[in-house]
Amino acid sequence: MGEGEQPGEDDEDRRYATQQAGTQLGEVRNQTQVNVHKRIVVMDLSEDRSEPRVFINPEFEPLTDEMEQYQEGCLSVPGFYENVDRPQKVKVKALDRDGKPYELIAEGLLAVCIQHECDHLNGKLFVDYLSNLKRDRIKKKLEKLHRQNA
């Protein structure tokens, strides 16, 4: 998906996009060096995977009350895709790869991805946005899968 291009309305597109966002595109690293605690997200939303964006210690704040719904998936919860509402526009503050602070206004898919990945850094998964009922159902299925693969 190109810069500034909005994700398609097509459900398959959205599903694919956020599936990618939750897996290959988003990569979370918790790095601890000597007295330096860095939380790094590397994300590449470009079509040819040539524009990795680096977010060190990212934080975001919503810029709108308007919510947008995407079907999200995640490596941490393999095989499950659920609709999640998130603010559709956020301001992201982070350090770049040289440690210089920068700000970015993110909308659409990028906004979804950065929120998803920031959540990871805070130990939160997209299933935490779902109803208890849905979350429990997913948990049970995952536990069953783990037992089968054990």
Query: Which CB atom, from 102 or from 141, has the smaller least distance to Zn ion?
Result: 141
Enumerate binding residues for Zn ion (CB under 5 A).
Answer: 22, 74
Smallest distance, Zn ion to C-beta of residue 121, A: 11
Smallest distance, Zn ion to C-beta of residue 34, A: 29
Query: Which CB atom, from 78 or from 101, has the smaller least distance to Zn ion?
Result: 78
Query: Which CB atom, from 22 or from 108, has the smaller least distance to Zn ion?
Result: 22
Nearest in space to 93 (alpha carbons), one of 124, 116, 114: 114
Q: What residues are annotated to the active site?
A: 117
Long-range contacts of 118-121, Cβ-Cβ distance < 8 Å, separation of 24 or more: 118/41, 118/58, 118/59, 118/60, 120/26, 120/28, 120/41, 120/76, 121/28, 121/30, 121/39, 121/41, 121/58
Cα separations in angstroms, 143 against 25, 70, 81: 26, 25, 17
Please identify the residue of the shown chain whose CB is closest to the bound Zn ion.
Answer: 74
Smallest distance, Zn ion to C-beta of residue 6, A: 22
Smallest distance, Zn ion to C-beta of residue 99, A: 25
Query: Which CB atom, from 22 or from 87, has the smaller least distance to Zn ion?
Result: 22
